[in-house]
Structure 1
């Protein structure tokens, strides 16, 4: 099969368009013909070696996939060749206490498609049957591929970790990212007032169109004070953040007394200085978050079917242009998802 192969760690140039033997489905596995695959910052971190640096090479990136069931392995009963599907990126053992309690993203053997196992920068991908869900019929392939990882991450942050309530002020950092695009919509779905941040007027305008009530440019010095002004001096009750060390001190200042911050990444660096007095004296809660239970994709897709949540595609490129997609993603040139068409 044709694929984009990661042959070393480094810049986008390590991604090479080539050919490799196609994987075959085993018991309870399905082979999917990939129609579209969306990029994530996780792809960049794996490529650089920040995440999973010991992966055997060559490796195939790509967490978010939409496509058609091409063939099924022994024991598969829920899907047949020809069905249109989206892939749930989280793979777990399915038998441990965490998995059986519904917290499969805490499984000791948890893997993410495209990080720990071959992903979707290819013509075909093999995944367990339990990682398939029917594609919403009204979505394009590119839109469908833009849903899973970012909406699952945002759902866990907003709903499961922050437990956002109607009327709360929710600060969403880096509004143009895939996770934040999803978080803005989910927070609004739960009745929150959303304050979105970004670095450009164009992205701030797009965030408003998506549903953000207020916007703040985080390139302006002391931008946390603007958040306080917008909340009558209180600050944000809950914060969705994955921006990392560069913005962390201001994020803490922008959070209300007794507020909650959910972290799912550190795009600007993971070595941040935390003023501990702010944490204990103002009684802040810092909540780590990675992905979500596979079960959460079902309500997400129902809301998508009803038009209450929608993927935002910012750019579509051919699969062989994956390196260019990485450059656009790293340079923050896109509002929404960069998607590769296969």
Structure 2
């Protein structure tokens, strides 16, 4: 059985590699899924290594769509031949980027017949991220104004659609003309698109669009910690170096001060910046606005058994919305299993849409 993993090199770094494994046998309550497609995302090696106690090889690929090949004891809701979708836990020893993987019966839902394997796999991680940020952390409802940064990415596209579906007014940022053009073609498009490559003052544009009140919820996929021209601190550079598939080249995005300044009173700032540094003046500014900061880490649902019900709610609602063509994820392109290793090192350069491995 062919699989892709991250293999530790002599210098301690991890790099994508192919491996041959014996056929998998299902444990109690688990099924073997013949992988038809797997969404690819940048990998945080530091987190993975800590979960796997610094193992020589680490699994890669978690967003799986496939067909049940074998079932273990006490599996009652699935049978061989069922088409399913689901996400592997970061703590799983299996790679989803493989010919087959083992998944818990309780971690998958049926794939709608009208939805292809590629679209299903490509929507899993963006949807889990978007539901976590927009619904569970942002509590976005009708009448709210939501600012979604990097709206043309796979995560941003789904977050925009969910916020619009729940009645919110959406402001989205774009890093360049191509991203802005993509956002303009969405149906419906965001109420306001702020092209960061053209505007001189993001905060002024955001406040003008909200009548001076600011956004009720700001959702980012990373922010700059300092103003343009200032250098990253050593801790941020170190954090970025732990991510496989993350290009650290220049990219226009808002700063942490921009986010705080654009927040409304009582607003919620939902950030993906795990190494966020808030100075005392930042905290005081947030406090004076009675605002809050939350961190979105979509894999937390699979790492905590107590939150399993929320994870299953997201999967079931996603499957329903895909079946009804309510959610339309953006697929950038597909690659074969043989090309997956080289693809993992360039994932973040594809700014619009999701890359999917197909078999």
- What TM-score bracket applies, with the shorter chain setting the length? 0.7 to 0.9
Deviation at 1:191, TM superposition (A): 0.6
Larger mean Cα displacement after TM superposition, 6-15 or 53-62: 6-15
Q: Which residue of 1 aligns with 2:8?
A: 8
User: What TM-score do the two structures reach when normalised by structure 2?
Assistant: 0.80
CA distance in 2, matches of 1:205, 1:327: 26
CA distance in 1, matches of 2:205, 2:28: 56
Larger mean Cα displacement after TM superposition, 226-235 or 186-195: 226-235
Q: Does 1:65 align with 2:64?
A: yes
CA distance in 1, matches of 2:5, 2:297: 26
Q: Confirm or deny: 8 A CA contact 1:208 1:214 kept in the other structure.
A: no
Q: Confirm or deny: 8 A CA contact 1:245 1:273 kept in the other structure.
A: no
Q: Which residue of 1 aligns with 2:333?
A: 315
Q: Does 1:341 align with 2:358?
A: yes
CA distance in 2, matches of 1:11, 1:257: 46
What are the ranges of 5 or more consecutive residues in structure 1 without an aligned counterpart? 90-111
Q: Does 1:191 align with 2:192?
A: no
Q: Confirm or deny: 8 A CA contact 1:245 1:272 kept in the other structure.
A: no
CA distance in 2, matches of 1:329, 1:195: 25
Q: Equivalent of 1:237, from 209, 216, 233? A: 216
Pick closer, same or farther for the CA change 1:194–1:35 going to 2, 3 Å.
Answer: same
Q: Equivalent of 2:110, from 129, 134, 148? A: 134
Q: Equivalent of 2:275, from 237, 247, 270? A: 270
Deviation at 1:172, TM superposition (A): 0.5
Deviation at 1:12, TM superposition (A): 10
Pick closer, same or farther for the CA change 1:138–1:334 going to 2, 3 Å.
Answer: farther
Match of 1:175, SS? coil
Q: Which residue of 2 aligns with 1:161?
A: 137
How big is the alpha-carbon RMSD for the aligned residues of Structure 1 and Structure 2? 2.2
User: What TM-score do the two structures reach when normalised by structure 1?
Assistant: 0.84
Pick closer, same or farther for the CA change 1:8–1:249 going to 2, 3 Å.
Answer: farther
Deviation at 1:160, TM superposition (A): 1.9
Match of 1:206, SS? helix
Q: Which residue of 1 aligns with 2:87?
A: 88
Q: Which residue of 2 aligns with 1:217?
A: 195
Q: Does 1:255 align with 2:263?
A: yes
CA distance in 1, matches of 2:48, 2:5: 17
Deviation at 1:142, TM superposition (A): 1.0
Q: Which residue of 1 aligns with 2:251?
A: none
CA distance in 2, matches of 1:253, 1:11: 41
Pick closer, same or farther for the CA change 1:181–1:11 going to 2, 3 Å.
Answer: farther
Q: Confirm or deny: 8 A CA contact 2:59 2:92 kept in the other structure.
A: no
Larger mean Cα displacement after TM superposition, 246-255 or 276-285: 246-255
CA distance in 1, matches of 2:184, 2:277: 29
CA distance in 1, matches of 2:215, 2:209: 9
CA distance in 1, matches of 2:4, 2:87: 21
Q: Confirm or deny: 8 A CA contact 2:34 2:101 kept in the other structure.
A: yes
Deviation at 1:261, TM superposition (A): 1.3
Pick closer, same or farther for the CA change 1:198–1:11 going to 2, 3 Å.
Answer: farther
Moved over 3 A (4+): 9-13, 50-55, 218-222
Q: Confirm or deny: 8 A CA contact 1:32 1:126 kept in the other structure.
A: yes
What are the ranges of 5 or more consecutive residues in structure 2 without an aligned counterpart? 226-254, 302-309
CA distance in 2, matches of 1:183, 1:84: 26
Deviation at 1:52, TM superposition (A): 3.5
